[in-house]
Amino acid sequence: MRALGLLAVVTVCSAYGAAGAVYGVEHLLDAIARGPAALTVALPAAGLLVSTFVRSLGPTRSGPSSIDAYMDAYHGRHYEDRQYAARTVGAGATVGLGGALDPVGLAVVLGTWFGSIGRRRLDSTGPSLLVVGAAAGFGAALHSPIAGGLLAVEIPFREGMSWRRLPAALLGSAAGYLARSSIDGFRLPWWTSVGVVGLRDVLLALGLAVGAGIASRAVSLLTRTAETGLGPVFSRERHHVAVAAALLVLLGVLARIGFSGVPVHLGPGTISLAWAATASVAGHCALLALRAAASGVTMLGRGVGGLIIPLLVLGSIAGQVLGRIFDGNLALLSVIGATTLLGAGYRVPLAALVWLAESTHSLPAVALGCVVVLITQAVGGGRSVSTAQRIHPVPPGRPSTPS
């Protein structure tokens, strides 16, 4: 009975905590985007500085990871409450002030924190409460009740998933989605009507799959560089933060000058998708480069946040570029590009396919997605944007091999 009570408390607290945090961050980003140009240029760099300062407080320094903190905790690493608090505040500062990461990381680390508290109260070592909390964060941040649950059990591993935790994950994700919907209205912000799928679209989607696999290798290298340092000169965190802050200011200036005054560099990239709807091919290419640079620089500056929505946005823009050049189905290629890059980036093919199904409600799109995700996984070569994943689930009592 006590276990069920704690499960209910963790589920509700994680769901509404994550939903409220993401809702607040997204509205803060909207307010910044409508504000003076100087603020949109300066605040992302300020967010990095605030995040670094917060994480430096206390006797135990808190790293920049957010979603990785859930994976570490899932695999048995212990974090203190002050470390969870530092990551939560750091993610709010990074993303809320315009850093090019996403609030999914904030929602997940907050849910993991509630799960960790519940697990200590229960005196348990199992990850079920952590899974419920993190899944609530995924469901609330992505508006995706099923894909969010699959992410919670698939993302800790580079291959396979923990099926035993799936019921708990679906419970948490559904609660997160319902909590977010009760605050923000029942909607699917990524929903897309793909229309008719032709042979040309299939061939272009296959090209997107190969490109996404190659891109995932590059992002994987970038995340490892962000952790190990930029060589003997830029090996300390203050060097990363100083260089990244200066580059973010430069990217902000370029965004205001080159994109009709729209701050497309801000946040996870959803603001840039509205601008891209009427852009030319050259504009799409420039936007793709700027968004990739903004997210990469924020990562190198060790900002706190997730990469799930930036990957979706970059894949969507890449699909639109290919569709405009070769006169393809823009709606289909946009969601296929997002699916392939998400699946390759975090090695979550099943969650990516379910996200595609929830976003399109189209059997042809899902069938095509199955093919392109398999190609992307093969081209990606097993690399992931996360350094905290383990290779695969293992039976109880056996150590899991680190990635």
Domain ranges of the chain: 2-184, 199-380
pLDDT of residue 233 exceeding 80: no
pLDDT band at 60 (very low <50, low <70, confident <90, very high): low
pLDDT of residue 260: 85
pLDDT of residue 108 exceeding 60: yes
pLDDT of residue 403 exceeding 60: no
pLDDT of residue 124 exceeding 80: no
Q: Two tokens at 4?
A: 């069920």
Among 1.10.10.10, 3.40.50.2020, 3.30.300.210, 1.10.3080.10, what is the CATH number of 199-380? 1.10.3080.10
pLDDT of residue 190 exceeding 80: no
pLDDT of residue 120: 87
| Residue appearing with tokens 């993610």 | 91
Q: Two tokens at 362?
A: 């189209």
Average pLDDT of every residue of the chain: 87
pLDDT (mean) for 246-252: 95
CA distance 148 to 347: 14
361: left (phi over 0), alpha (psi -120 to 50) or beta: left
pLDDT of residue 288 exceeding 50: yes
Same fold for the domain at 2-184 and the one at 199-380? yes
Q: Note whether 261 and 268 are within 8 A (CB).
A: no
Contacts of 108 (CB under 8 A, 6+ apart): 18, 66, 67, 69, 70, 134, 137, 138, 141, 306
pLDDT (mean) for 1-28: 91
The yes/no answer on whether domain 2-184 falls in CATH 1.10.3080.10 is yes
Least Cα distance to 349 among 210, 147, 177, 165 occurs for 147
